[in-house]
Structures are given as C-alpha cells and as structure tokens.
Amino acid sequence: MTEFGTNLVAMVTPMQPGGGLCEPGRTQLVEHLLASGCDGLVVGGTTGESPTLSDAESAGLVRAVAAQAGNRARVIAGVGTYNTATSIRRARDAEAAGADALLLVCPYYSRPTQDGVIAHCLAVADATELPVMLYDVPARTGVAMAPSTLIELAGHPRIRAVKDAKGDLSEAMAVLSRTSLAYYCGIDELNLPYLACGAAGLVSVVGNVAAGRTAALIRAVRDGDLAEARAINDGLRPLTDTIMRAGTGAANAKAALADLGVIPHATVRLPLVEAISGPAARTPERALPTPS
C-alpha cells in the first residue's frame, strides 16, 4: 500500500431523510468498501457533497472513518474550498482527526490565476505534516492546473500526488515524465487508459458499489494482462455509464448503495436531488444543508 493507497473510493456521505448525517449508513458503507478491496477512503470530497458539509461535520466524518478503518485503509480527507483560510482550517482539523492524507481541489468559483493556485496549494500544504493529493477538475472549478503549475507544486515535499479529472492523457504523461507525482485517475470512464499510461491508482465513484472490480482492473494492468483488463473494463462500462452519465455521480452512487442495502437512505442535500432507481423508486429527498 502506498501512502494514499491504490484502489481509492470517493465515498458518498450517508444521510438521513431531512439531511442529517447517518452514522449507521457510514459504518455499513466503510465495512462494505473495506470488504470489497478498497485500500483508500476519500472522505468529504466532491462525491461526499463537501460543499454542503460544515467544518464540524467534515472533521467528525474523518474522525469516525479513521477510527473505524484503523490500519485497513488510508483515509484521505477532502479539505479544498474556494477560501484558502477555510481550507487551511479544514486541513488542520483533518490532521487532528486522524487523516492519513489530504485531497486539495483547485480553488473553485473565484477563477484564480495560476500564481493564485500555486499560492493557495502551498499555503495548505504548509499547514500540516500530511501528504497532499492535488485535485485537478476544471469542469467543476472553472480553472485547470497548468502543467507548469503541477511541476512547480511537485517541488513541495508534501505535495506528492494528483487526482486527475482533466482527462488529458498526453498532459498527464508529460507531467509524470518530469515529476515524481503519483497520478490517480479521477474519471471512471478513463480508468483503464490512465492505468495503462502509468497511473498509481484510481479515485473512483463507481467503486462505491464495485470496488472489487476496480481492484481487479488495477491488478490486471499491473500484471500486464491487458486482455483481462479490457474484459473487466467492458464489464464495468454499463455501471459506469449509469452512475456517471445520468444525473450526478453522488446521487446515483447513493441510489445504487441504497438499492443494494448498504446504506438505508439515498438522501442528498440541495442543490442535489435524489436519483430515482430500482423497482420501488423513492421520492426525491430535497434536504437542506444542516446549519453550521
């Protein structure tokens, strides 16, 4: 296991109808993921509905998951926001709560310059002793991390990985060739080509319900058995399309987990609305974020 793991899952945050956090659902989900072959749990990331979580909820989730997982998996805390001071506070809270590493998204909404992105990431990386995985997802943030930015940030001793949801394989290989950054695929539809190009692992939404199959995909590529890897990937495509291409990944993953009986409710917080699936479709929960 690396310091981040290899078969990482971007965990959903189980919630009760009405929007409160669901502790039984969280406990069941963590055990389900660990039993399925997940060795890295990303807590409070995009799929965990991080923009709607309060600081106290974020730290409490990290504390609970870290205590439950123990040494069975790495716990990576999503701490990135559009506010550097808030991101620093969440990073320090995550460190105190027992996180093994941080996931730091490029600041969103403000659309900073590349100099601003660099300053933001360095400030958060300087705030704790934890290793940092950068999260490059321009479709959500409005700003891409330029290759020169990633190369510069790689010089920081605690910035050691990238969750790449940009989808530019040529750029990823160029940065890999010039840095020691570990790359993790953050686009489930592209897991196989990223692994084939040298990615260290995956940060998967689909892994919420198929971590055993993503683990098998990683093993097949590592073993050089590309025919087996293609077969596994082809088998995953219908599930990937269902979760990632119809509505939102967080809502769809929760609906799938609820249908499987892993979590009791598929509730999401506004502005997301619950996905409707299964033979007995649920009424969408339109839960407001719990006040901080």
> Mind telling me the catalytic residues?
135, 163
Instruction: Tell me if 32 sits within 8 A of 189, measured CB to CB.
Output: no
**Helix 249-260 and helix 207-222: axis angle, to 10°?**
100
CA 213 to chain centre: 17
- Token look-up 């509905």 returns 49
DSSP character for 46?
T
The strand pairing partners of 249, in sequence order, are: none
User: What string of DSSP letters covers 124-183?
Assistant: HHTTSSS-EEEEE-HHHHS----HHHHHHHTTSTTEEEEEE-S--HHHHHHHHHHS-PEE
- Mapped to the 3 state alphabet, what secondary structure does 47-64 carry? CCCHHHCCHHHHHHHHHH
Instruction: Tell me if 163 sits within 8 A of 203, measured CB to CB.
Output: yes
Tokens of 228: 């087996």
* 252: enclosing H helix or E strand: helix 249-260
